[in-house]
Amino acid sequence: MYFVYILYSYSIDKYYAGSTEDVSKRIKEHNAGKGNFTSKGIPWVLIIDFECYDRSEAVKLELKIKKRGIKRYLQDNGLA
């Protein structure tokens, strides 16, 4: 199983989307400063995660979310 997750940083008022096999481990990495973009917005909070069948499906969904714009994607789907 893979997951697409959306994080939010109150400190910089930004969203971040990514994909992983282990959401909690990945969030800990983001909050530990691992990652160029996410190191600027610590602490990050999980907004939502989507379960995907495999990595290919997760990457497609992640790209779809990013292409639409994370905030707009959440609003369009009644998640924000």
User: Residue 31 is part of a domain; what is its CATH number?
Assistant: 3.40.1440.10
Structural domains counted in the chain: 1
User: Quick check: pTM over 0.85?
Assistant: yes
pLDDT digits (tens, 9 = 90+) for 17-31: 999 999 999 999 999
Q: Which domain holds residue 56?
A: 2-76
> Structure tokens of 61?
């969904």
Q: Which residues pair with residue 4 across a beta bridge?
A: 19, 50
pLDDT digits (tens, 9 = 90+) for 33-45: 998 899 999 999 9
